[in-house]
Chain A
Amino acid sequence: MKIKMLPNWVKKLGFLLFIICSFISGYSHFMEGFTGQTCNSGNYDELVGKELSHVFDILSILGLIIYMFSKEKIEDDYINKLRLESFQLTSFIGLAITIIAYAISEEIRLTLDYFIILFLWIYLVTFAFKKRIY
């Protein structure tokens, strides 16, 4: 399976974007929980507003997606095979988690970002594990 991928140098850019944006957005969520204030209240609003925090959330996800779709240093058929297997396993695990969560409680309501982050992280961990196992 040949997938059109981004060049290898973009990988570092994606990772950097993810680190910076997730730090800013993570800090905003942490402060929200720590102070008990929402993003739009108090002095905190001056630093990072709710809309801006959402933008950083999206940018951090975008960074992970860029990282995910970048080529490895050496791209060959075996790496493509591992990538395909990782996608397959990620789909199964994601589906299994969703079904189990639904089975445990029908009332569970999750926002879309939980599914996006779950999918991206499972894929990245699976792919990294498969690549380093040998």
Chain B
Amino acid sequence: MKNLIKVERARHRLTQGDLAEKVGVSRQTIYAIENNKFNPSVTLAIKMARYFKVTVEYLFDIEE
């Protein structure tokens, strides 16, 4: 699954630690999601989409 977390994070000028704090997870979790080592839960995906004010489909997409 590919995602635009890194792009959105850069757009909002946030560090991994900042974003982690905003959505209530560890910095390692953000790193793992950005590097496709971990697929977030639906709850976390929605939290991040809401924080960036985008849709979940925009933030996360399945690689064909």
Contact = CB atoms under 8 A, between A and B. Distances in A.
B26 A72 contact: yes
A78 B24 contact: no
Contacts of A77: 29, 38, 40-41, 44
A131 B28 contact: yes
Chain A interface, >50% SS class: helix
Contacts, number: 30
Interface residues of A, number: 9
Contacts of B28: 78-79, 131, 134
A74 interface: yes
A46 interface: no
Contacts of B32: 78, 134
Interface in A87-115: none
